[in-house]
Amino acid sequence: MRKYAWPAALVVAALAAFMVAGASANLTGSTFEGNDGNLVVNTAGNTDWDNAPNLSVGEDLPTGGTDNAFGQGTSENDTNVTVVTGSIPNSKADLSRFAVAGETVNNVSFIYLAWSRENDSGSVNFDFEINKLAQPNLDTSGPKTLNRSAGDLNISYAFQGNSLTPTLGVRIWSGTAWGAEASLSGCSEGAGNAATISDTLGGLAPVNRTTGQFGEAAINLNCAGIIPPGGACEGFSSAYVKSRASQSFNSEIKDFIAPIGLQFASCGAIKVTKTTKVPGQVGPQPQAGVLFSLDGGAGVATDANGQVCFNGLSLASHTVTETVPAGYQADGATTKTVTVDNVANCTDLPYLGETVSFTNSPLTDVTISVDSKADGGTASSVNCDDDSLDFTTGTNGDGTKTSGAVAGSKTITCVIVIDP
């Protein structure tokens, strides 16, 4: 299996699906030629698979005794599956390559899908599964447990007989099963190849594909309701494609191409670092347990490293606010605006998202007292470089003064004159 990184993301907020109405112009807002059934740009200034934005490509193992497939009657709702070798279905469902690309244009999110197969005979029933979590290694044989989360996507791509116009649909993983398929006309387009083309997906070696061996689709995720315009995003991390034995969603699934990594280009992250002064320590030190909120939400506490990270953020300006803990003084603004314009995840190594820092100083109350042991016997005056502590005793010679809270790492000098 050859795998290619796709620095782009998918996110889901609602159920939707797509039905292709036939060849037409590109989807509004997109320059991607997703319904011409080829890989090359036909109109200058457009994009296609030979220059697709944020491209990720997977290639199947060679057809034959070493090719892998799902075995033992696996169906789409199964999470405990078995991978076998040398047991692929007939050649019309024998996958060869697949690709996922995507982009956000003027705050509108698009995803582009493609597949190729080893034979051009008959119907197509392929499913693209897009998951939030990474999947197990499906390149090796044996029992596997798929890592599905509520909100994962299963996008179906099907055409029957000699038709090259596909029907696309989407199902959402509920946590235990795939939901009902839904469709939406006008939010997608797609087509199979009507003539022989050269399959060079992802820069792989060219393979001639005769009619019906290649298919593609483009989907407007906002139009379809999968991503709300300007809404928060949930990052998806992987995708793979598989073939079904028939139109029935509950039919056996067989051949697949192992998962590839994804990161959709509308999700960012903000990492907050919190420090304070600590007696006896040189320089700022991490401060754990300090609450920070994002865009007015619930507070999240910093960890032992003095950090907290907010994930799955739209590419926009966000506010981060500190709740200053008791006994400390903020050394600067407690609310800061951060512009998220980098695609990132909190768990990325190296981390490429936005950062913001806050510092504070510990506070101390200082009290100075003068207590004459003989009423009227003495009088005193206190004069400090912190004027809040200055006072003169009364007629009985007694007096006390407490400063406002004083930030740490400060020296206070006082002159006390007794019985002047």
191-222: pLDDT as tens digits: 999 999 999 999 999 999 999 999 999 998 88
Please count the structural domains in the chain.
3
Give dist(CA 316, CA 326) in Å, integer.
Answer: 32
Residues 8 and 87 in one domain: yes
For 228-313, strand residue ranges (E) read: 238-244, 253-261, 268-276, 285-286, 291-294, 300-301, 307-313
Same domain for 73 and 213?
yes
Where does a domain end: 206, 238, 261? 261
The confidence score (pLDDT) of residue 409 equals: 62
Residue 420's pLDDT is 67
Is 244 in the same domain as 293? no
Q: Are residues 346 and 377 in the same domain?
A: no
CA-wise closest residue to 11 among 130, 99, 98, 106: 130
Q: List the single range of 31-45, 293-307, 309-323 with lowest mean pLDDT.
A: 309-323
pLDDT band for position 265 (cuts 50, 70, 90): low
pLDDT at 73: 87
Window from 217-231, 244-258, 327-341, 368-382 with minimum mean pLDDT: 217-231
Least confident of 7-16, 101-110, 150-159, 321-330: 7-16
CA distance 46 to 42: 8
pLDDT at 324: 93
Query: Is residue 16 located within the same domain as residue 121?
Result: yes
Residue 16 has pLDDT above 60, yes or no: no
310 and 403 both lie in a single domain: no
Residue 120: the pLDDT is: 79
Kindly list the strands in the beta sheet with 167-172, ordered across the sheet, starting from the edge strand earlier in the chain: 142-145, 80-85, 68-70, 253-261, 238-244, 124-131, 153-159, 167-172
Q: Is 375 found in the same domain as 230?
A: no
pLDDT at 230 over 70: no
Q: Specify whether 151 is located in the same domain as 252.
A: yes
Distance, CA of 116 to CA of 99 (rounded, Å) = 9
Q: 240 with 285, same domain?
A: no
**pLDDT recorded at residue 377:** 74
pLDDT of residue 383 exceeding 80, the answer is yes
- Please, what's the b/e burial string for 103-128 (b: 16 or more CB within 10 A of its CB; e: otherwise)? bbeeebbbbbbbbbbbebeebbbbbb
Cα 314 to chain center, whole Å? Answer: 9
- The predicted pLDDT at position 206 comes to 97
- Rounded mean pLDDT of the chain? 85
Q: Say whether both 126 and 224 belong to one domain.
A: yes
State the CATH number of the domain containing residue 329: 2.60.40.10
Listed residues 232, 261, 290: the one ending a domain: 261
Q: Give 53 or 347, the one with higher predicted confidence.
A: 53
Q: Tell me the residue range of the domain where 392 lies.
A: 367-418
Q: What is the pLDDT of residue 11?
A: 34
- Residues 244 and 298 both lie in one domain: no
Model pLDDT, residue 233 = 64
Please report, rounded to a whole number, the percentage of residues in the chain having pLDDT higher than 90.
Answer: 50
- Least trusted range by pLDDT, from 28-37, 164-173, 276-285: 276-285
End residue of a domain, out of 231, 261, 291: 261
100 shares its domain with 197: yes
